[in-house]
Amino acid sequence: MSYLEYTVRRVPTGPAKVLYLNWPLLVLVATAAAIGFVMLYSVAGGSMSPWVEPQLKRFAVGMVLMLGVAMVPIWFWRNVSGLAFGVSLLLLVGVEFFGDVRMGAQRWIDLGVIRLQPSELTKITLVMMLAAYYDWLDIRKVSRPLWVAIPVLLILLPTALVLTQPDLGTAILLVAGGGIVMFVAGVHWLYFASVFAAAGGLVTTVFWSRGTSWQLLKDYQFRRIDTFLNPDIDPLDAGYHITQAKIALGSGGWTGRGFMQGTQSRLNFLPEKHTDFIFTTLAEEFGFVGGMGLLAIYALIIFFCIASALGNQNRYGAILTLGIAAAFFLFFAVNMSMVMGLAPVVGVPLPLVSYGGSAMLVLMVAFGLAQSAHIHRPRTRA
Amino acid sequence: MRRTPKDTAEGARIVNRRGLILGGAMAAFSGLLIARMRFMQVEQADEFRLLADENRINIRLVPPSRGLIFDRRGVPLAENEQNYRVVLVREDAGDVGEVLARLQRIIHLPEEDLQKVREEIERRSPFVPVTVADRLSWEAFSEIAVNAPALPGVAPEVGQSRIYPLDQDFAHVVGYVGPVSDYDLTEGYLSEDTDPLLQIPKFQVGKTGVEAKMEHDLRGQAGTRRIEVNAQGRVMRELGRISGRAGDNIRLTVDSALQNYVQVRLGEESASAVVMDCESGDLLAVGSAPSFDPNKFVRGISVADYRALLENDHRPLHNKSVQGTYPPGSTFKMVTALAALEHGVVEPDETIFCGGYKELGNRRFHCWRRGGHGRLPLVNALEQSCDVYFYEIAERVGIENISAMARKLGLGERHDIPMSAVASGLTPTKAWKRENRDTDWLIGDTFNSGIGQGFVLASPLQLAVMTARIASGRAVAPRLVRPLDAGEPDPEAPLLDIDPAHLRFVREGMYAVTNSARGTARASRVVADGIRMAGKTGTSQVRNITAAERAAGVTRNEDLPWDRRDHALFVSYAPHDAPKIACSVVVEHGGGGSAVAAPIARDIVLQALYGGTPPLDAYPTSQRGTIRTRQDELPLRDPSSFSIGRIRA
């Protein structure tokens, strides 16, 4: 669908756009962020510093960004998708040379004003790129091998760069997120079936490669998988994170141990308690009820995204919104699986809740895009 | 590019369908997450809660305070005092060298100690607190507490440490405590002890004396402290404590003032004395000289001090009163006499001729009096300690009967008192000699044994028990620990299986020793109204004067080097007509019993009877001058040092 098509449909313009915002989505996003503030306050031992204050500022900036992005017509975003993707690829390359090494991984690039994780940015720009691609592509060509190969390359390019950092978590999200965009765009299901089959083969190969000269994963990544499969191997070292996270989560019970009463997080048994493992603190202090509450908010965010996408005649907007929903889902699904011991520890933050600037800003921009798609969706003239 | 409306509709249809499938898949996965969460938080909650508590809750032992030890009147002999110390935990300290250097600026630590601390820190696990400095002044202690933020890993602690207020006086009786050692735990007396307290580094346990023998009563039971720790092991707060049980207090039978007198009176001699109550068996004083300050051992004795104690030829660490065994010499003659009387081999009034020696084959057994005593009956034989008389009756009654009588009187038996290395002595028999010396018993051995030489060995404690039994006619057993509450009076000890008439003859002889004109210890008589002391001298040969020495003019004991001189012994009881106090004194290498041991014994007995310095008129007129001088010169402890502590049950 192109600009011309909009001329025959009604699209809100000017300040009236605010009325057409996806308000439930906005409120839900703010709620999730608020839960994040409460949890950061708790893990800091009842203090605004060091985490709540910066996070609040980022959220404020993120909110402004989101609204700004939302106000810009969706076709503008469609037209800059390629550019955005290109820039994030450049940054990914740049991070290889100028990146800061933090916690054993090259992930950060210091732009002077903010420290950016290009890999976070890529999660969204990849979705934009793919959505724009499928918007451009003739629907009848979607499942043709050549036209399938192009998006696959678009996915694998940033994935390869991210893997060299090395950042397994983001790589998984990129592949899964990109795959989901291809899926919703209508690529034939046989492709996916064969990819799953191939993935199974690959996993087998990866494990075969262990200890050989052509070992495909770093030792620490293998160890993470080992400790995931059996955390008791080394409960004080590599398995420590998983074991302590499970203890924190499990000890929460139905209603939790109470706000700021979680012994696991308060006494520093939890690793990364303000970032990747913040869900365990929530589950410890507010129990099953609290965890389900956050999960419900996440589910509603997804629900409103999907609902918005399903009613959207704009192919770019629909695919983009679904892609963002998928990326968001992947964030919390992987994070929760990780802390519940269902997946290896791969370093994925809990969206909107975990402490971290890049992830927060990128997510807010993503929701801004979804809002833009929502506001600027073509409506039949009454 | 342009797209036909049909294509647009088809594309939207596909996106809608795929979007719904995607939503369904997400919902399904969320359901999986919910199920997992429910399983962990609802089904397994208790298990994880337990794990969380195990994570954060540590149980620490709280050492109980050690039981106190009192004398019979309640004077404290072993107490606990507050001990301010600092400990260091390596893993919290980070740079141990730097922290120690900073600590050094506040309290001065000798380089030698510092080196020990460093080694200890290296050896222990990183989280085990190691004591850096002990017995700090309150000022130093509070300064460290104030500077705590600059001293990571350093913690000021208040502990208890043992103190012996009467230091030297009870070093051998009460003993001392020290840090539990690997030896104690593996081979020592604590090898069967599983008390977790013993795992605390440097936990103080009894090393000798009552402290060691009554360790289990004194130690008490550990309390526990439940503390919350964080992931680094730092203590966050205390969740609760279960108080332990303090060790039991112990009251001894000794009288600290008398004990002090005994120690001072023995002075620098290598000597020992035991004072016993003839009726109850209570040990009123158990002295061994020279002594040492047990507090030095508690604080960690320096190498030089320890070496000095070890190298002293008067053996201060040796507890001579119960551990030392000596040939009892003539103090054994009562045993021989009673054995002979009981077996009817001699009549009390039967006289035996002493010509200065008794022949056995071609060997002569001499009397101490070369010229002989002439004919004399039992009482006079005891009075003058005639050796020939006792050779004769010993031969008649035989060694087996003598040894049996000795055991009846408490010799050759290890008395059950809570002191270290209580010796059993030796009452030889024919079987014993065959087993241990691989030769047959000879009549000459009987002669020697009859006068307490040869194989017979007895400790001062046993000699005191023997004397008390002869004096009371009852099988009194020595007792060192008194029940805390007086309660009912002690049951009287059973009567000895000895004809009272025979005992009376022996007592008469002992009375004569100190009172009659020819008594060997007449100089040490007591002349107070109604109080007379009975006793018996003894001299035990360390070695015979050799022919070569005799040729060189050495005929008298005093001419020999100190460590070859005879031991001087004296046993006594008083008052003679109603015995209350039995006392034995052994002065190693002191020479003759009558000259050296008897005066000491008399002073001690009088001190015990009067409960303090006796009046001068208890002594013979001619001696009062010297006695007065001695009484004035003895460096006794000020009576205020025997202030009575509060006895707690």
Dump the DSSP string for B486-503.
--SPPPPPPBPSS-HHHH
Give per-residue pLDDT as tens, B332-383: 999 999 999 999 999 999 999 999 999 988 888 999 888 899 999 999 999 9
Distance from CA of B241 to the nearest CA of A (A): 20
- Which residues in chain A touch residue B21, judged by CB atoms under 8 angstroms apart? 183
Give per-residue pLDDT as tens, A91-113: 888 877 776 655 444 466 665 55
Beta strands in A221-346 (DSSP E): none
Tokens of A260: 């700021």
Q: CB–CB of A186 and B11 under 8 A?
A: yes
| Cα–Cα distances in angstroms (integers) from residue B238 to residues A326, B196, B386, B626, in the given order | 48, 20, 77, 67
Q: Would you say how long chain B is, in residues? A: 649
Burial A239-274 (b: 16+ CB within 10 A, else e): bbbbbbbbbbbbbbbeebbeebebbbbbbebbbbbb
Query: What chain B residue is nearest to A255 in terms of C-alpha separation?
Result: B41
**Enclosing H/E stretch for B81:** strand B76-89
Give per-residue pLDDT as tens, B405-423: 999 999 999 999 999 889 9
- Which residues in chain A touch residue B26, judged by CB atoms under 8 angstroms apart? 299, 302, 325-326, 329, 333
ipTM value: 0.89
Give per-residue pLDDT as tens, A205-237: 888 887 777 777 777 777 777 766 666 555 555
- Which residues in chain B touch residue A312, judged by CB atoms under 8 angstroms apart? 12
Tokens of A64: 């402004």
Q: Order the strands of the B223-229 sheet from edge to edge.
A: B57-62, B223-229, B235-242
Per-residue pLDDT, B466: 96
Phi first, then psi, for residue A343 (nearest 5°) are -140, 155
Greater pLDDT, B155 or B447 = B447
Closest to B576 in 3D by CA, of B533, B512, B536? B533
> Environment class of residue B573 by beta-carbon count within 10 Å: exposed (0-12), middle (13-18) or buried (19+)?
buried
Per-residue pLDDT, A1: 47
Tokens of A255: 């209603």
DSSP string, B18-69: HHHHHHHHHHHHHHHHHHHHHIIIIISHHHHHHHHHHHHEEEEEEPPPPPPE
Strand partners, A68: none
The C-alpha atoms of residue B330 and residue B332 are separated, in whole angstroms, by 5
Tokens of A32: 């999730």
Per-residue pLDDT, B335: 96
Residue B1 has pLDDT above 60, yes or no: no
Give per-residue pLDDT as tens, B201-226: 778 899 999 999 999 999 988 888 77
The C-alpha atoms of residue A175 and residue A190 are separated, in whole angstroms, by 17
Question: Closest to B19 (Cβ–Cβ): which among A252, A268, A322?
Answer: A322
Identity at B342, one-letter amino acid code: E
Pairing between β-strand B250-252 and β-strand B69-70 as defined by DSSP bridges: parallel
Give per-residue pLDDT as tens, B61-75: 788 889 999 998 889
Greater pLDDT, A266 or B573 = B573
Query: What chain B residue is nearest to A136 in terms of C-alpha separation?
Result: B1
Opening angle at CA A75, ends A72 and A81, nearest 5: 95
Rounded-to-5 percentages of helix, strand, coil across chain A: 70, 5, 25
Q: CB–CB of B232 and A269 under 8 A?
A: no
Distance from CA of B26 to the nearest CA of A (A): 7
Per-residue pLDDT, A109: 65
Q: CB–CB of A138 and B38 under 8 A?
A: no
Per-residue pLDDT, A158: 93
Tokens of A335: 């994070």
User: What does the DSSP 8-state code read for residue A232?
Assistant: G
One pLDDT digit (tens) per residue for chain A, 382 residues:
455 555 556 778 778 888 889 999 999 999 999 999 999 999 888 888 888 999 999 899 999 999 999 999 999 999 999 999 999 999 888 877 776 655 444 466 665 556 678 888 899 999 999 999 999 998 888 889 999 999 999 999 999 988 887 777 888 889 999 999 999 998 999 999 998 898 889 888 888 887 777 777 777 777 777 766 666 555 555 567 777 888 888 888 888 888 888 777 777 777 777 888 899 889 989 999 999 999 999 999 999 999 999 988 889 999 999 999 999 999 999 999 988 888 877 778 899 999 887 888 899 999 999 999 999 888 765 4
Beta strands in chain A (DSSP E): 100-102, 105-110, 115-116
Give per-residue pLDDT as tens, A55-89: 999 899 999 999 999 999 999 999 999 999 999 99
Cβ within 8 Å of residue A207, ≥6 positions away: none
Q: CB–CB of B231 and A340 under 8 A?
A: no
Q: CB–CB of A295 and B14 under 8 A?
A: no
Per-residue pLDDT, A104: 47
Confidence of residue B44 (pLDDT cuts 50, 70, 90): confident
The C-alpha atoms of residue B437 and residue B452 are separated, in whole angstroms, by 18
Contact yes or no for A328/A302 (Cβ under 8 A): yes
The C-alpha atoms of residue A98 and residue A100 are separated, in whole angstroms, by 7
What average pLDDT does this structure show over B25-31? 94
Query: What chain A residue is nearest to B4 in terms of C-alpha separation?
Result: A1
Q: How many helices (H) and strands (E) does chain A have?
A: 14, 3
Closest to A354 in 3D by CA, of A332, A369, A337? A332
Per-residue pLDDT, B370: 87
User: What does the DSSP 8-state code read for residue A314?
Assistant: -
Per-residue pLDDT, B10: 85
Contact yes or no for B618/B527 (Cβ under 8 A): yes
> Does the CB of B39 have a partner CB in chain A at under 8 Å?
no
Per-residue pLDDT, B234: 65
Give per-residue pLDDT as tens, B67-105: 999 998 889 999 998 888 888 887 777 788 888 888 888
Residue B513 has pLDDT above 90, yes or no: yes
Q: CB–CB of B37 and A291 under 8 A?
A: yes
